[in-house]
């Protein structure tokens, strides 16, 4: 859990908020009266570091007689990690976020959510929560994302006089003697995600976007970061040197993407080795603390939330933010804010963004999805059987792929995906059609073995894949593949099947859909789960045929009419895997 490292915010939370009869705050006076009846209970959940400032403001508003249309307002402001609320919201809307996991069941979705970053809102929307359309979502605070370094290490890099770039960091992270850089799990932490996006962008700049050079640089950087990753921010902070002894500094963590507020909170504890905040170019996406009124709340609550937002838009609230080491939404700071050494002046515009747009204005949700999916695939281990349809219809040409066939596009995507997996993965390869190997609809090309000894065989196997003249023997193949993966099920890894197909089952001599489902139910062992992912290509695939299969086994069917998208879908599919069973 993310927790504050200092107690100064507690004293500041008790400071009275002076009301000004000016600007948007007039809206409050128009709605509030000297007396009220009834009760509107507004629940607000905020990131832990901003919760004290919001609570102090809300408490003052309630103490002064908060009301909407003569109805009294009570506001409860609780602190919760954004990843926990995101999991609860995702569960409510029936979607899964890469790397987030299942909701704990103890976190309740509030009326108003103030996460640390708008990226949570973007990820929920792009993840499939189509009904998730929060109102407002304007930023109420800001904290730039910086590269945190122990001061002695930062000094060696020219801090505070020299301005570093993310390309400089990439070079250090991937050198023969790499910098000990770490990261908070970017699928669960907004500052970690911001750093990941910035470093990935720097890696993409090493070659043409999507080129082998760019992919190699990205994979190398992510694997280096993964060696010092942590799912808990406090755990990562504990890895910074706790002694000024040179050997302790050399053995400790040397760099991590954190928020400015994190650095200030850490240094407020007077550690033996303070952290320097390096503001790298180009400036990464900041934490922007959106005020998100969640969909489905009652109109009277929405009205109360609107007035509360006005109270959080005043100079007085900005001063409360300063006591929490947070800036105002435009990047400027209130009274008492102690800016880190070398922090850009708000007047320079270096930390500013248009008020109300948040820190993600113009950010493509697909970029976030690709970054989190790539991270998940590159940094996890698994055991997988890839099964590729080689039926006659896979000869069809794909106009968007310069005339390459469906099979060629599929093999190219598999080859590209192979580069993402490290040697700890175990992967095998089958092809299928009808009567492909005597009476069998499937053929083993490469057995499931660790990539440490199997990588070249898989490359050669993929190069040998050719289309047949047969039909689509989907059901017999799926059952045989499930039995094969179950046969040598490996603990500690996600055991999975990824099957690529462009059609429905067309094997009149094989088992039926009903028989397949019945046998899978019988074979399924909750103690040894096998995730089945089916990637359907083209317009002839029946999602209704595939969904009952993955509903039994665990997994999900992905169907695209555009075969050129299967590389992206493959990445998303692998990233959505459940935690490994042990």
Lowest mean pLDDT among 257-266, 510-519, 549-558: 549-558
Task: Judge whether residue 176 has pLDDT over 50.
Answer: yes
Grade residue 25 by pLDDT with cuts at 50, 70 and 90. very low
Alpha helices in 26-107 (DSSP H): 26-31, 51-63, 82-92
Task: Judge whether residue 216 has pLDDT over 60.
Answer: yes
If one compares 573 and 414, the residue with the highest pLDDT of the two is 414
Looking only at the bridges linking them, the beta strands covering 494-501 and 530-537 are parallel
- Per-residue b or e along 320-343, where b marks 16 or more CB atoms closer than 10 Å to that residue's CB: bbbbbbbbbbbbebbeebeebebb
Q: What's residue 351's pLDDT?
A: 45
Same domain, 137 and 149: no
Q: Is residue 264 part of a domain?
A: yes
Q: Is residue 2 part of a domain?
A: no
Grade residue 492 by pLDDT with cuts at 50, 70 and 90. confident
Q: Is residue 63 part of a domain?
A: yes
Domain end residue (candidates: 364, 395, 428):
364
Q: What DSSP designation does 477 have?
A: H
Task: Judge whether residue 103 has pLDDT over 80.
Answer: no
Q: What's residue 23's pLDDT?
A: 34
Same domain, 559 and 474: yes
Q: What's residue 514's pLDDT?
A: 96
Least Cα distance to 101 among 372, 396, 332 occurs for 372
Pairwise CA distance, residues 1 & 83, whole Å: 10
Same domain, 73 and 129: yes
Task: Judge whether residue 243 has pLDDT over 70.
Answer: yes
Task: Judge whether residue 541 has pLDDT over 50.
Answer: yes
Same domain, 181 and 167: yes
Q: What's residue 576's pLDDT?
A: 63
The whole-number average pLDDT for the span 271-292 is: 96
Q: What's residue 184's pLDDT?
A: 95
Grade residue 206 by pLDDT with cuts at 50, 70 and 90. low
Pairwise CA distance, residues 248 & 582, whole Å: 35
Same domain, 118 and 253: no
Question: Could you report the per-residue pLDDT of 33-62, keeping only the tens digit for each?
Answer: 457 888 999 999 999 999 999 999 999 999
Same domain, 403 and 521: yes
Q: Is residue 284 part of a domain?
A: no
Query: 3-class SS at 131?
Result: coil
| Count of Cβ atoms closer than 10 Å to residue 362 Cβ | 6
Whether cis (ω within 30° of 0) applies to the bond prior to 160 is yes
Same domain, 133 and 197: no
Looking only at the bridges linking them, the beta strands covering 530-537 and 555-560 are parallel
Question: Could you report the per-residue pLDDT of 300-325, keeping only the tens digit for each?
Answer: 999 999 999 999 999 999 999 999 99
Instruction: Give the length of the chain.
Output: 582
Q: Are 506 and 470 contacting, i.e. CB atoms less than 8 angstroms apart?
A: no
Task: Judge whether residue 571 has pLDDT over 70.
Answer: yes
Task: Judge whether residue 567 has pLDDT over 70.
Answer: yes
Q: What's residue 360's pLDDT?
A: 55
The whole-number average pLDDT for the span 428-456 is: 95
Lowest mean pLDDT among 3-7, 376-380, 440-444, 553-557: 3-7
Task: Judge whether residue 15 has pLDDT over 70.
Answer: no
Same domain, 333 and 447: no
CATH, residue 249: 3.40.190
**What domain range is 196 assigned to?**
145-278
Residue in the block written with tokens 């650095």: 263
The two tokens of residue 355 are 């008020």
Domain end residue (candidates: 243, 278, 313):
278
Cα dist. 91→87, 128, 129, 197, 284 in Å? Answer: 6, 11, 10, 26, 29
Q: What is the mean pLDDT of the chain?
A: 86
Domain end residue (candidates: 222, 243, 278):
278
Same domain, 542 and 499: yes
Grade residue 577 by pLDDT with cuts at 50, 70 and 90. low
Residue in the block written with tokens 């609550």: 301
Looking only at the bridges linking them, the beta strands covering 555-560 and 112-114 are unpaired
Q: What's residue 46's pLDDT?
A: 98
Grade residue 19 by pLDDT with cuts at 50, 70 and 90. very low
Same domain, 225 and 314: no
Q: What's residue 210's pLDDT?
A: 54
Question: Could you report the per-residue pLDDT of 373-383, keeping only the tens digit for each?
Answer: 888 878 778 89
Task: Judge whether residue 354 has pLDDT over 70.
Answer: no
Number of structural domains found in the chain: 3
Q: Is residue 375 part of a domain?
A: no
């Amino acid at each position: 859990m993310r927790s504050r490292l200092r107690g100064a915010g507690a004293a500041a939370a008790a400071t009275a908020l002076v009301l000004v009869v000016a600007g948007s705050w007039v809206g409050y006076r128009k709605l509030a009266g000297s007396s009220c009846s009834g009760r509107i209970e507004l629940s607000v959940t905020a990131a832990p570091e901003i919760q004290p400032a919001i609570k102090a403001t809300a408490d003052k508003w309630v103490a002064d007689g908060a009301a909407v249309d003569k109805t009294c307002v009570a506001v409860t402001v609780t602190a919760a990690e954004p990843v926990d609320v995101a999991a609860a919201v995702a569960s409510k809307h029936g979607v899964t976020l890469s790397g987030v996991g299942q909701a704990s069941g103890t976190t309740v979705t509030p009326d108003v959510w103030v996460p640390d970053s708008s990226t949570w809102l973007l990820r929920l929307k792009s993840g499939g929560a189509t009904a998730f359309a929060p109102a407002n979502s304007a930023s109420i605070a800001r904290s730039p994302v910086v590269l945190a370094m122990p001061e002695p290490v930062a000094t060696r890099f020219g801090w505070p006089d020299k301005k570093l770039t993310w390309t400089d960091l990439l070079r250090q992270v991937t050198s023969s003697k790499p910098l000990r850089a770490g990261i908070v799990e970017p699928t669960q932490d907004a500052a970690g995600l911001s750093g990941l996006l910035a470093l990935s962008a720097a890696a993409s700049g090493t070659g043409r976007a999507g080129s082998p050079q760019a992919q190699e640089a990205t994979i190398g950087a992510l694997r280096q970061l993964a060696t010092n990753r942590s799912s808990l921010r406090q755990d990562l902070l504990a890895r910074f040197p706790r002694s000024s002894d040179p050997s302790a500094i050399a053995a400790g963590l040397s760099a991590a993407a954190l928020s400015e507020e994190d650095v200030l909170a850490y240094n407020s504890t007077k550690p033996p080795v303070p952290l320097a905040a390096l503001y790298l170019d180009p400036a990464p996406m900041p934490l922007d603390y959106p005020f998100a009124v969640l969909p489905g709340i009652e109109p009277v609550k929405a009205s109360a939330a609107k007035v509360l937002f006005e109270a959080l838009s005043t100079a007085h609230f900005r001063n409360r933010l300063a006591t929490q080491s947070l800036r105002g939404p435009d990047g400027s700071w209130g009274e008492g804010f102690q800016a880190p050494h070398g922090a850009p002046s708000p007047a320079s515009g270096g930390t500013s963004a248009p008020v109300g747009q948040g820190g993600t204005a113009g950010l493509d949700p697909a970029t976030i999805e690709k970054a989190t999916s790539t991270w998940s695939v590159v940094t996890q281990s698994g055991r997988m059987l890839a099964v590729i349809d080689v039926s006659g219809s896979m000869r069809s040409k794909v106009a968007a792929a310069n005339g390459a066939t469906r099979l060629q596009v599929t093999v190219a995507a598999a080859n590209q995906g192979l580069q993402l997996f490290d040697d700890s993965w175990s992967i095998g390869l089958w092809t299928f059609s009808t009567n492909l190997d005597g009476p069998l609809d499937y053929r083993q090309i490469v057995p499931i073995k660790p990539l440490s000894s199997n990588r070249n065989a898989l490359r050669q196997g993929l190069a040998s894949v050719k289309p047949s003249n047969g039909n689509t023997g989907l059901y017999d193949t799926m059952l045989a593949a499930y039995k094969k993966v179950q046969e040598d099920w490996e603990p500690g890894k996600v055991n999975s099947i990824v099957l690529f197909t462009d059609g429905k089952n067309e094997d009149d001599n094989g088992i039926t859909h009903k028989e397949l489902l019945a046998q899978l139910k019988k074979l399924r062992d909750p103690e040894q789960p096998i995730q089945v992912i089916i990637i359907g290509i083209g317009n002839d695939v029946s999602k209704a045929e595939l969904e009952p299969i993955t509903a039994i086994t665990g997994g999900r069917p992905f169907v695209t009419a555009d075969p050129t998208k299967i590389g992206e879908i493959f990445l998303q599919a692998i990233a959505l895997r459940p935690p490994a069973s042990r």
